[in-house]
Amino acid sequence: MVACCQFSTRDNKIIKAEQRLKKNKSNKPRLRFFEDSPGQQHIADSDKYLYQRPVPSHNLVIIGTGTIGQEHMRVATLLGRAQIHGIYDTQKHSMDIAEANFSRYSDKPLLRYQDLDSACNDPAVDALFICTPNHTHFEILQTAIKSGKAIFLEKPMATDLQDAAATEAMARAYSSFIQIGLQYRYKAQYVEAFHEALSRASLGEIKTISLSEYRPPFLDKVEQWNKFNANSGGTLVEKCCHYFDLINLLAQSQPTKVYASGGQAVNFIDFERDGNASDIDDHAFVVIDYANGTRANFTLNMFCHDFSEELVVSGDRGRLTAKEVFNFHQQQGSKASLAIEAGELGGSKTIDVTYPALIEQSGHHGATYFEHIAFVDQLEGRSVPAATPLQGLWSMVVASAAQASMASGGAVDINQFMAANGLADYLNA
């Protein structure tokens, strides 16, 4: 389940990728953070080596120019290996704001497409980023996939399991690739945690996993789509698919049973739009059993004043704790740490983990930056452990089973749950 899905690539795309690699192959160092240094302004571009800007090799289109769409625009520009060619959104105001913000860090003109078909089928474009509200993902994907271009699909890949499974099936048959926006796996503390727990096996055999998030309520969105289960897929699908992806990867097994308790206690209990009352959950406790014997739990609280995450992984030789704290109100940057406690079996250490400040500030504490590296690497024909549609589906399976458990008050057997949703073929796949 956790293996990175491999997709077939057309011969001409392989040839183009090889040509790009040959063209861009260079071992020279790049000091990205001094590109615009005042001390370098007197040096002509032709004389720059360490401070030379990269020449983008790929053109991207952003479909959906809200908060996350604009984040992808910033990150792609910062990375420099691809450039934003154009944008599309049904909201003209959103495109106006995105274009104005883009002009602050790039002098490249943007194309503004008038319809989705034009945005998807521009022959000058190499890849499409779908960054629209959750309930639009599947419909837009069906148009985008006809282009044959590489696709980045923001999480969650759909709002229900049937559309998620249909997406995964389309991806398996696709001539290019689809990457899912589960970027939390690229947060600095989780990259280090995965290295210690899985690559180095510092903890021995993993037995239990505990993950928690404490944060403020959902932010405002266009037409407040994220305040309603029908549009978001539900809180555990919309927000917590990130965390279930992390847990699934650490467990390295398929879930067998999910039990959850939660609901709506504080947030938006008096909120209405167009006569509809908000029904979005704001807290939950989730317990997950895995086929290999690993047990996990997840805690969500969305009526806190500041943000914190904590991951605790325990094995038969030690324990790992990865933490992140972010103070919204004092506008302090994210602080993340990793602790390994293995005692006489392996020693212990505690370290701060971070990316360079410019990367940290680019979006999701730097995770989106490395997500883009993975995407461009795939564009250039490399095999990378980016989030696949299959992994995106399994993150939704856990989330959806948890929401079903909250509704019924009982534990959900995954075999029965998958069969009831027409997904039995994915069991033990």
Residue 171 has pLDDT above 80, yes or no: yes
Percent of the chain with pLDDT over 70: 90
Average pLDDT over residues 110-114: 98
pLDDT score at 4 = 36
Place of tokens 């861009």: 24
Q: In the chain, what are the domains?
A: 11-132 (3.40.50), 185-355+388-426 (3.30.360.10)
pLDDT of residue 6: 32
Q: At what angle do helices 161-172 and 137-144 cross, to 10 degrees?
A: 20
pLDDT of amino acid 132: 98
Main-chain dihedrals φ then ψ at residue 73, nearest 5 degrees = -65, -45
- Say whether pLDDT at 309 is over 90: yes
For residue range 325-369, list pLDDT tens digits in order.
Answer: 987 776 677 899 999 998 887 789 999 999 998 899 999 999 999
Kindly state the tokens that stand for 345: 């079996």
Q: Quick one: average pLDDT of 154-177?
A: 97
Mean pLDDT of 242-267: 98
Top pLDDT among 320 and 17 is at 320
In this prediction, residue 96 carries a pLDDT of: 98
Q: What is the mean pLDDT of the chain?
A: 91
- Beta pairing partners, 301: 214, 283
The answer to whether 44 and 336 have CB atoms below 8 angstroms apart is no
Q: What is the mean pLDDT of residues 18-30?
A: 48
- Rounded CA-CA distance 314/229 in Å is 34
